């Protein structure tokens, strides 16, 4: 899985650098934090006591995986991230859960795993891939889902026009400062954002449909923050 890693060295180094302070500023930097993550978990279409297999792409410090584990206590969860430092943080934060976890330090943009999953999730990560990389990844995700499985992406999206994108950025800055983000935390966030390669929501929904996902829909949106999904209903 290492074939595509060289192209993502910038992302890896940035997130290695800020792994230790990432979680503490996350609520301040995601103004819609509670709704954003709540909707992502609510979209998982399985009973809470089911034994499901979950893959978390760009899992970082394990925040989304921890929410999955809290709700689905029998889920087997595989976490993938480029940053070894982030994976170390995830191992520490998830140690209190009884779920089975597997941790992979790898480049998920060239996803090649031997198993399939019932749920593939990602939060605030896929926007680091170019448009073409996203298209390739969506096809790979589809192929790594069991029949009836779902892909849920909670991410930031690009404004559909330059004017809308400017409004997104200005509103975000207003809200994070109102929440008390420090200039140091904001500086770190802006440095990480230099690695962003965001695509519009409409483009990504189109790419999911082109990949033959079913029930493609955006379920939540707050300025640039969006939660959308698609199902693999092929038998």
- Given strand 214-222, what is the order of strands in its sheet? 100-105, 76-81, 53-57, 117-123, 145-156, 225-232, 214-222
Query: For residue 231, what is the enclosing H or E element?
Result: strand 225-232
Query: pTM of the prediction?
Result: 0.89
pLDDT band at 100 (very low <50, low <70, confident <90, very high): very high
Share in percent of the chain as helix, strand, coil (round to 5): 45, 25, 30
pLDDT band at 168 (very low <50, low <70, confident <90, very high): very high
Question: Residues 17-49: pLDDT tens digits?
Answer: 444 444 567 888 999 999 999 999 999 999 999
CATH 3.40.640.10 fits 5-232, yes or no: no
Domain boundaries defined on the chain: 5-232
C-beta atoms surrounding 66 within 10 Å: 20
């Amino acid at each position: 899985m290492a074939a595509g890693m060289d192209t993502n060295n910038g992302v890896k180094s940035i997130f290695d650098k800020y792994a230790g302070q990432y979680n503490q500023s996350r609520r301040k930097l995601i103004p819609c934090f509670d709704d954003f993550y709540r909707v992502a978990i609510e979209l998982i279409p399985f009973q809470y006591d089911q034994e499901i297999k979950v893959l978390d792409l760009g899992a970082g410090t394990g925040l989304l995986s921890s929410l999955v584990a809290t709700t689905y206590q029998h889920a087997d969860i595989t976490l993938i991230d480029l940053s070894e430092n982030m994976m170390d943080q995830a191992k520490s934060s998830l140690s209190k859960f009884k779920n089975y976890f597997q941790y992979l330090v790898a480049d998920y943009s060239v996803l090649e795993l031997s198993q399939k999953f019932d749920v593939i999730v990602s939060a605030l990560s896929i926007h680091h891939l170019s448009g073409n990389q996203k298209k390739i990844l969506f096809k790979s995700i589809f192929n790594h889902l069991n029949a009836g499985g779902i892909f849920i992406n909670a991410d930031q999206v690009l404004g559909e026009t330059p004017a809308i994108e400017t409004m997104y950025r200005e509103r975000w800055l207003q809200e994070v400062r109102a929440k008390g983000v420090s200039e140091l935390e904001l500086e770190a966030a802006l440095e990480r954002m230099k690695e962003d390669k965001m695509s519009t929501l409409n483009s990504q929904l189109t790419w999911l449909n082109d990949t033959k996902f079913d029930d493609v829909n955006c379920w939540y949106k707050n300025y640039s923050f969006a939660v959308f999904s698609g199902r693999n209903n092929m038998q």
